[in-house]
Structure 1
Amino acid sequence: MVEQLRKDGVDVDVLRAVDLDIAPGGTSEPVDDGDAWPGVHARLLESQILVIASPTWLGGPSSVAQRVLERVDAMLSETDEEGRPGAYNRVAGVVVTGNEDGAHHVIDEITRGLEDIGCTIPGQAWTYWNQGPGPGPSFLDAERGHDWSRSTGRAMSANMLGVARALAARPRGPPPP
Structure 2
Amino acid sequence: MTLLDLCAYLGLAATGAAGINLLLGLLISLRYSPVRYWPHRQINLFALHQWTAYATVVLLLSHPAVLLFLDKPHFRLFDILLPIQSPLQPWINVAGAGAMYLLLLVFITSLLRSRIGRPLWRKLHYLVFPAAILLFIHSILTDPDLKDGHPDLLDGGKVFVEILILVCFAAIVIRVRMRGKGLRPASSASAR
Do these two structures clear the TM 0.5 threshold for a shared fold by scoring above it?
no
- Higher percent of residues as strand: 1
Specify which structure has the bigger relative contact order, considering alpha-carbon pairs within 8 angstroms and separated by 6 or more residues.
2
Structure-2-length-normalised TM-score: 0.28
- Higher percent of residues as helix: 2
